[in-house]
């Protein structure tokens, strides 16, 4: 991509915070010896929040940032938003940027929902007339028509989030910063939020997205960076970084029953066998079946079953999981066995393919059993194309 398409450029950014260590023994000592306490007894430790961070975001890109709690993700987003200034380095943002970092900032509990909508709109730079035009859409999206004349302090936390999000998405932004706002609210509203971001992706809206939900990262993000201990440790595709991130949580818990360096997890639920039928196919095969036999070793609630198919060059072709399919899996007791079957259309080109199979915790972060290259299959097609997929395409030519 050309330099002109870069809308965010971060160059060698460092950010430190000073953390106080000495504490006064009482309130009295603070007030009676304030000068002495501040000048002599106050000690600080430097906390390195970000260390030499560099990356670029292109126009129209859905860019992901992942990392464990305390790694520096939120600090980085606040620097991009201009809330914090880096100690060292440069950040260049080309375009109007709106952060969805802390929804509801500026809301007043003593005001009604209606009054807070107009207040938040003013903070986003909208005039009264502009908010009049947006008001009905905001309330309809939040599904709070009956509550808009109640004071905000009487709203539940979920209602407040719905209202704040509904106002925020009306901002005329060229770049959106999103920090885990979809982790709150009920399932129906989360789905509505995801649908909104799917719409933004189709419209090529530039979004910087921080999340612990690897299903969302895989579904939306074009590129992702992984931050660990204040540094970028990996950059790449959504699937590659999501895999690296989930593996960080189970580095010392290999699935011992079957072993293998390409397999890891916490062993709460294991895949006993992964099969692809047929293992060789041609144009006459319409669908392939991926069958996974599994067993629960512990009590597991709503595990996430998924698969990914890639070609011999490592290009990811197709994949999904039951969470993306909006299917709940229920609770499995220790010793309980089961089977899951996926039916996949034969859209594959001539060549060899590999299947990754996985079972994760319902948070889609903690892996129970990730099995890299669990099975393989081969496709033979006489009608080859130079493209990634090769589905059956019907051609008709008519002459007048």
List, in order, residues 6 or more apart from 346 with CB less than 8 Å away: 281, 285, 286, 287, 288, 379, 391, 392
Distance (Å, whole) CA 110 – CA 115: 10
d(CA 189, CA 140): 12
**pLDDT for 260 beyond 60:** no
3-246 carries CATH number 3.40.50.300: yes
Q: How does pLDDT run across 149-188, given as a tens digit for each residue?
A: 999 999 987 888 888 888 888 877 889 888 865 555 566 7
Nearest to 217 by CA among 290, 323, 144: 323
CB atoms within 10 A of CB 254: 16
Residue 218 has pLDDT above 90, yes or no: no
Return the pLDDT at 255.
Answer: 45
CB 86 within 8 A of CB 14: yes
Residue 258: its pLDDT value, please?
44
The pLDDT-based confidence of 106 (bands split at 50, 70, 90) is confident
Q: What is the tens place of the pLDDT at every residue in 21-45?
A: 655 555 555 555 555 545 555 677 7
* Closest residue by Cα to residue 65 from 174, 221, 191, 229: 221
3-state SS string for 131-170 = HHHHHHHHHHHHCCHHHCCCEHHHCCHHHHHHHHHHHHCC
The CATH fold of domain 256-379:
Coagulation Factor XIII; Chain A, domain 1 (2.70.50)
CA-CA distance, 307 to 341, in Å (whole number)?
A: 11
- pLDDT tens across 373-400, in order? 999 999 988 877 878 888 888 888 998 8
Phi, psi for residue 99 in degrees, rounded to 5: -90, 135
Between 24 and 326, the higher pLDDT residue: 326
HEC secondary structure over 360-379: ECCCCCCEEEEEEEEEEEEE
* Residue range 280-303, pLDDT digits in tens: 998 899 999 999 999 999 999 999
Distant-in-sequence, close-in-space partners of 322: CB < 8 Å, separation ≥ 6? 304, 305, 306, 328, 329
Lowest mean pLDDT among 206-220, 225-239, 263-277: 206-220
Return the percentage of the chain with pLDDT > 70, whole number: 86
Give the model confidence (pLDDT) of 333-353 as tens digits: 999 999 999 999 999 988 889
Evaluate if residue 275 carries a pLDDT over 70: yes
Q: What does the alpha-carbon distance between residue 110 and residue 167 come to, in Å, rounded to a whole number?
A: 18
Radius of gyration of the chain (CA): 26
Integer angstrom CA distances of residue 256 from 27, 260, 268: 56, 8, 12
Residue extents of the structural domains in the chain: 3-246, 256-379
Q: Which residues of 145-184 are buried (b: 16+ CB within 10 A; e: fewer)?
A: eebbeeebeebeeebbbbbbbbbbbbbebebbbbbbbbeb
Q: Are 290 and 269 in contact (CB under 8 A)?
A: no
Give the rounded percent of residues in the chain with a pLDDT score beyond 90: 46
How far apart CA 43 and CA 76 sit, in angstroms, is 26
Q: Is 207 left (phi over 0), alpha (psi -120 to 50) or beta?
A: beta
**Average pLDDT rounded to a whole number, residues 205-231:** 88
Mean confidence (pLDDT) of the chain:
85
Higher pLDDT, 208 or 364: 208
What pairs with residue 306 in β-bridges? 321, 358
User: Residue 320: helix, strand or coil by DSSP?
Assistant: strand
Q: Do residues 118 and 163 touch, judged by C-beta distance below 8 A?
A: no
What is the average per-residue pLDDT within 214-241?
89
pLDDT tens, residue by residue, 111-135: 999 999 999 888 877 889 999 999 9
Q: What is the pLDDT of residues 33-89, one digit of tens each?
A: 555 545 555 677 778 899 999 999 999 999 999 998 889 998 999 999 888 999 999
Spatial distance between the Cα atoms of 306 and 340, rounded to a whole number of angstroms? 10
Burial tier of 139 (Cβ tally within 10 Å: 0-12, 13-18, 19+): buried
Q: pLDDT value at position 31?
A: 54
Return all residues near 281 (Cβ < 8 A) that are at least 6 apart. Answer: 288, 346, 377, 378, 379, 380
């Amino acid at each position: 991509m050309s330099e002109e398409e870069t809308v965010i450029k971060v160059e060698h950014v460092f950010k430190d915070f000073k953390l106080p260590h000495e504490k006064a023994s009482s309130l009295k000592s603070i007030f009676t010896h304030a000068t002495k306490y501040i000048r002599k007894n106050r000690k600080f430790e430097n906390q390195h929040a970000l260390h030499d961070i560099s990356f670029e975001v292109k126009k129209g890109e859905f860019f992901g940032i992942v990392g464990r709690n305390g790694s520096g993700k939120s600090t980085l987003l606040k620097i991009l938003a201009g809330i914090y200034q880096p100690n060292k380095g440069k950040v260049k943002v080309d375009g109007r940027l709106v952060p969805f970092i802390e929804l509801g900032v500026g809301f007043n509990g003593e005001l009604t929902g209606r009054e807070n909508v107009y207040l938040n709109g003013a903070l986003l730079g909208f005039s009264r007339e502009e908010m009049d035009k947006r008001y009905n859409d905001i309330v309809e999206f939040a599904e709070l028509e009956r509550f808009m004349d109640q004071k905000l302090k009487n709203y539940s936390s979920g209602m407040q989030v719905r209202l704040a999000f509904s106002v925020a998405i009306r901002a005329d932004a060229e770049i959106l910063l999103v920090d885990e706002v979809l982790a709150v609210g009920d399932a129906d509203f989360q789905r509505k939020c995801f649908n909104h971001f799917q719409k933004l992706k189709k419209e090529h809206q530039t979004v910087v997205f921080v999340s612990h939900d690897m299903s969302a990262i895989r579904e939306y993000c074009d590129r992702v960076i992984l931050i660990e201990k204040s540094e970028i440790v990996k950059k790449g595709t959504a699937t590659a970084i999501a895999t690296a991130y989930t593996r960080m949580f189970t580095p010392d818990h290999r699935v011992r029953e079957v072993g293998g360096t390409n397999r890891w997890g916490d062993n709460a639920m294991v895949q006993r066998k992964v099969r692809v039928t047929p293992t060789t196919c041609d144009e006459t095969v319409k669908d392939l079946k991926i069958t996974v036999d599994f067993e629960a070793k512990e009590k597991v609630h709503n595990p996430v079953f998924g698969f990914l198919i890639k070609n011999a060059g490592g290009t990811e072709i197709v994949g999904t999981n039951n969470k993306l399919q909006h299917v709940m899996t229920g609770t499995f007791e220790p010793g309980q066995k089961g089977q899951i079957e996926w039916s996949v259309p034969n859209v594959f080109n001539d060549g060899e393919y590999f299947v990754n199979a996985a079972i994760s915790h319902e948070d889609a972060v903690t892996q129970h059993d990730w099995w890299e290259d669990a099975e393989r299959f081969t496709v033979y097609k006489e009608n080859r194309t130079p493209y990634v997929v090769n589905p059956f395409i019907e051609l008709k030519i008519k002459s007048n």
